[in-house]
A and B are shown apart, each in its own frame.
Chain A
Amino acid sequence: MHSKLLNEIALRDLHRVDSAELHLLINSIYGYDETQTSELTSTLTTGDPEPFLTYDEPFFTLENRIAELFRWLSKNVRLQSHHSLNGIVDEIRSQNEKMVEALEGNLEYSKYQIETSMDTIEYRTAELLRISEENSTHISGVIQRFKEGGIDREKRSFLAQVLLSDHLDPMLKLVEPEGPIEVVFQEVKTTLERIETLHAFPILLRENARRGIQKQRGTRERLQQIHQYSFTNFVPILQSFVRSTSTLLSGATAGVRFVSTYGWKSISPLSNLQILKPRRPRNILSDSGFTRYNERQNIQNRDNDFIPGATEEYTPTLELEDIQPLFGDQGIEDILQAVLDLHPNQSLTECSRVTTDFIISVNKHDKLRFRDAKTYVRKNEKLEVNVVEVL
């Protein structure tokens, strides 16, 4: 897509360059000769469906919309293109060549040259890693922005295409097994190994060479990890943005995005979608159902009532009338004790209940006096309550 060139033009005043500037740019970026430069210029000015550049003597003007997109990209993405990485790789290669020359004895100050080259290689290797990491982070950020919306579909599709064709694909090519980074790193490793084994060099330099080999190995693995990760994770997502979307898909995407951010209540069209609460026939209870229920209950009750060999006498429950004989003209010192004495066959619970009923029926405090607590016992029952005197 020639993003580097188009980006350079987009950043110029009125996003245009004259013929000499264009040739200079093409030459500096691609290193093309005159024929190749003319071919590229022709491609850019006659592209289908719309050309990137329009020639209006003396300027080549970048199409306004494309210029805007590149400005957005450079402002928001802050990506270093593969040209930058290629430049760094080239510098590492050049420094390695200088070390090889020094080793071959072609340079006068070989030790100094090797030290300088090793430092440069170390610095550039670290830079390579940093740029790759930052690129990966930036692309991740852009994808997140794509998902959050705010960029119209056409623009998003174009930007996704730029990221794929001008960043991810070339980056992956850089780190593939026969790619420039692998080749240069292998060459550097060979040179550093030679330095490490040459006893003519001071021990410090040889130590540095050994450390350099270790660093290179770590960096190479990390670079591969970063680019492989970027490729496998970002490419499918970006490809989905490149594709044209249907109304259904864009609506579904908006729905997921809204729910994720604001919750499902924020989607007003949902209120038009009523899923009716099911009316279940089993909620209607028929009389025959109740009859069957009663029958079941009756059978159960009969089973429970049958107690073979029951020996206890039937004792009817006490009523207030049953303790009436206690109340004459005189008062009673301990009403519960009096009831217990009057009905020796009744349980303590039953006597206590009827006593309570009596106290409630009196309902006049001046006729009752509450004294200290006392423990009443009958059979297995035990009760501790205040003694109540009836005046």
Chain B
Amino acid sequence: MKFFDEEIKRKEFRNAIWNLLRGHNIIQTDTEFPFIEENHDLFVEYLDLLGLDLTLHPMGGLYYLQKDGKQEETRLSAQMCLIFFVAVQKISDTFEDGDTVSIFDLINKFEGYDLETMLSLGGLDPTQANAFRDVNINTNEDLEKVLKTMTRVRFLEKLEDSNYRFRRSIIRLSDVATSLHSYEHIPVEGGEEE
């Protein structure tokens, strides 16, 4: 393994490694991205020694870390997914007839969405509220806490007007939703379709 001679590159390497270790999802617009892309093999080798996989999302433009075997932060993952799912439903409600919401609509909305208001617990329907309760989001403060964590790991970006902008990294959450698509019509209470 060959490390960098120049101090400035060593600093960049150090910074990128720490941000990956902090669980950040690094996308093309992040400063670390080109450096990781350029030195991909070195990052992979170094992180492999720590038992971590540097993952490049199949759609490209997104790096994040994964750890084999042990699953971590599963409840947090569920909270983030649920927030994303309900946000998709709520945003879809605001669309004109005939339009359908896609991941690109979400990412390309530069002015972002007022997620704190949109997802506030008072405005949810019973199914959404039940789902939030199941992942321990019982108050608006809980919701804000998870939104803050989603911002920290770079799924979201908080704008100056307190709106949240979806980053490209939500492709990971969208993948979970897409894999559930085929279950949409399966009854949840065991009854068969009449």
Contacts and interface: CB of A to CB of B under 8 A. Distances in A.
A254 B189 CA distance: 13
Interface stretch (B1-9, B28-36, B63-71): B63-71
B184 A253 contact: yes
Interface size class for chain A?
A: 35 or more
Interface stretch (B38-46, B109-117, B156-164, B168-176): B168-176
Interface string B81-99: 1101110110011010111
A252 B90 CA distance: 11
Contacts of A263: 134
B85 A256 contact: yes
A73 to B, nearest CB: 11
Contacts of A257: 127, 131, 188
B103 to A, nearest CB: 6
A272 B172 CA distance: 10
B47 to A, nearest CB: 11
Interface string B170-194: 0011111111110111111101111
Interface in B10-36: 18, 21-23
A151 B188 CA distance: 11
A275 B153 contact: yes
Contacts of B18: 279, 281
Contact of A242 (B21, B22, B97): B97
Nearest to B104: A248
Given A150-B187, A260-B134, A275 B180 contact: no
B23 A251 contact: no
A76 B194 contact: yes
Nearest to B80: A275
A54 B18 CA distance: 69
A281 B88 CA distance: 35
Interface in A260-280: 260-264, 267, 269-280
A222 interface: no
Given A236-B93, A243-B100, A276-B64, A150 B76 contact: no
A276 B86 contact: no
Contacts of A281: 18
Contacts of B75: 264
Contacts of B99: 243
B174 A149 contact: no
Contacts of B126: 260
A357 interface: no
Contacts of A239: 97
Interface of A: 72, 75-76, 147-153, 236, 239-240, 242-264, 267, 269-281
15 contacts: A236-B93, A251-B184, A252-B86, A252-B180, A253-B184, A256-B85, A256-B128, A258-B183, A264-B131, A267-B176, A267-B180, A270-B176, A276-B52, A278-B23, A278-B153
